Amino acid sequence: GAGVSQSPSNKVTEKGKDVELRCDPISGHTALYWYRQRLGQGLEFLIYFQGNSAPDKSGLPSDRFSAERTGESVSTLTIQRTQQEDSAVYLCASSHYRAGITGELFFGEGSRLTVL
Amino acid sequence: KNEVEQSPQNLTAQEGEFITINCSYSVGISALHWLQQHPGGGIVSLFMLSSGKKKHGRLIATINIQEKHSSLHITASHPRDSAVYICAVERDSNYQLIWGAGTKLIIKP
């Protein structure tokens, strides 16, 4: 596709349920970021994938959060046993990392998660 | 002290005014990004620069590496420029992006 695609665009779930969010980065982009943005707040880093390197998971807020990426393609962010404080927009961004520079960032439209 | 500071936090101006948003940082960087987020909208990259100046339409971004400072300028501002403008720097030691808190810009007709 032409841009970063995220699904679902909206997800309403009950507290305690698991959710899975998907990100399709731009083809050829080796770097992929997940961010969380709560209402009226800035971006909160969650996890970073770069090529075949071990992902940087330092931003994941708890062990209920996990993410995977298959090679340099699709990534999924999984939140287990969701809590109300998990309600936010989850944003994915990709870029063509080369020569030690991240490159222009391309963001998806986000997945809005509401935990009741 | 935050490693990336943006100013002002909020800016309201009249249509047509020249707008300047500032970004100062305290770490060594390999690149600096300016991005835009409209209310309820996605985030769009405006510029990525590591030196000098870039221009795109009515937007101009400059960076002074020695001063560790960047500015985003909007000429002939328009209500559709109303958005949050975010500065992010990329550490020169690794991939990490450090984000500013954003500047909320409102342009009144």
pLDDT of residue B94: 72
Q: Which residues partner with B27 through β-bridges?
A: none
Mean predicted confidence (pLDDT) in A7-15: 97
Confidence label for A40 from pLDDT (cuts 50, 70 and 90): confident
A105 CB within 8 Å of a chain B CB:
yes
Quick check: A112 pLDDT over 70? yes
Cα–chain center distance at B102 = 8
A96 CB within 8 Å of a chain B CB:
no
Q: Do B86 and A43 touch (CB under 8 A)?
A: yes
Quick check: B60 pLDDT over 60? yes
Cα–Cα distance, B50 to B29 (Å, whole number): 8
- SS3 state at A84: helix
- Residue A49 exposed, middle or buried by CB count within 10 Å (0-12, 13-18, 19+): buried
Cα–Cα distance, A39 to A109 (Å, whole number): 15
What percentage of chain A exceeds 90 in pLDDT?
A: 72
pLDDT of residue B39: 84
Quick check: A2 pLDDT over 80? no
pLDDT of residue B97: 86
Average pLDDT score over chain B: 93
pLDDT of residue A41: 85
Quick check: A1 pLDDT over 60? no
Closest CA to B29 of B87, B91, B95: B91
- Chain B CB contacts of A48 under 8 Å are 95
Pair B4, B100: CB distance under 8 Å? yes
Between the alpha carbon of residue A30 and those of residues A74, A93, B105, the distances in Å are 11, 11, 33
Q: Testing the interface with A: which of B9, B45, B56 to mutate, by most A Cβ within 10 A? A: B45
Closest-CA residue of chain A to B86: A42
pLDDT of residue A99: 67
Mean predicted confidence (pLDDT) in A74-101: 91
Q: Do B95 and A48 touch (CB under 8 A)?
A: yes
A39-43, A86-90, B31-35: range with lowest mean pLDDT: A39-43
Q: Do A103 and B48 touch (CB under 8 A)?
A: yes
Cα–Cα distance, A39 to B54 (Å, whole number): 32
Confidence label for A80 from pLDDT (cuts 50, 70 and 90): very high
Average pLDDT score over chain A: 92
Q: Do B42 and A107 touch (CB under 8 A)?
A: yes
pLDDT of residue A100: 67
- Chain A CB contacts of B90 under 8 Å are 101-102
